[in-house]
């Protein structure tokens, strides 16, 4: 790697790392997953820099890589979990099944944490659009490009996610 290329990549990393980590913290289930996926995101970015389309937003492209790495990581975890479950069933093991990973504890205010918990309870497809739109402040068009879906689907998922969160908050409020 040439010195100029390394310096340029380091600059790119320093300008984008906070947004990538923010996305990962909201969409991943454990802190170790965040670190692992962040490494693969930047390895993938480095390997594919020559494929980057200069006419498109670099941040959108990078968030697309991030989302695909999260999805790949979750698929891998799911396959590993299924394999373990099948092995346990075959051996009639008495060992307990694999527990879900612990949710990352964020230092947020009480109300923000409640909103985060509501958001965390949403399906991944809904959570992804919320994080990209409201946490990373991408436009609906950019979210559509990152997720490779139509803008109408982004709008629909945003609407559905917000409706579900409102219903959950209302149920909680009515129960009090």
Residue by residue, DSSP assigns 68-126 as HHHHHHHHHHHHHHHHHHHHHHHHT--SPPPPPPPPPPP---HHHHHHHHHHHTS-HHH
The angle, 0 to 180 degrees and rounded to 10, between the axes of the packed helices 3-27 and 31-47 is 140
Q: Is 94 helix (H, G, I), strand (E, B) or coil?
A: coil
CB neighbour list of residue 50: distance below 8 Å, 6 or more residues apart: none
The pLDDT score that the predictor gives to residue 125 is 94
For tokens 């497809």, the residue is 125
Mean pLDDT computed over 102-108: 28
Mean pLDDT computed over 74-86: 81
The percentage of the chain sitting over the pLDDT mark of 70, rounded to a whole number, equals: 81
Question: Whole-model pTM?
Answer: 0.60
| pLDDT band, residue 75 (cuts 50/70/90) | confident
The pLDDT score that the predictor gives to residue 103 is 25
The pLDDT score that the predictor gives to residue 41 is 95
Mean pLDDT computed over 59-63: 91
132, 23 in Cβ contact below 8 A?
yes
């Amino acid at each position: 790697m040439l010195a100029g290329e390394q310096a340029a990549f380091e600059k790119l990393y320093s300008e984008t790392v906070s947004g990538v980590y923010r996305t990962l913290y909201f969409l991943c289930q454990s802190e170790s997953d965040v670190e692992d996926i962040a490494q693969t995101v930047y390895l993938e970015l480095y390997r594919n820099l020559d494929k980057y389309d200069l006419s498109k937003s670099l941040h959108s492209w990078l968030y697309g890589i991030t989302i695909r790495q999260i999805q790949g990581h979750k698929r891998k975890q799911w396959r590993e979990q299924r394999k373990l479950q099948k092995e346990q069933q075959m051996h009639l093991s008495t060992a307990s099944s694999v527990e879900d990973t612990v949710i990352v504890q964020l230092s947020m205010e009480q109300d923000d944490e409640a909103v985060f918990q509501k958001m965390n309870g949403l399906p991944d497809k809904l959570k992804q659009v919320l994080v990209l739109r409201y946490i990373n402040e991408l436009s609906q068009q950019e979210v559509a490009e990152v997720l490779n879906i139509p803008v109408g689907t982004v709008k629909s998922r945003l609407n559905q996610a917000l409706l579900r969160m409102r219903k959950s908050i209302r149920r909680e409020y009515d129960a009090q």
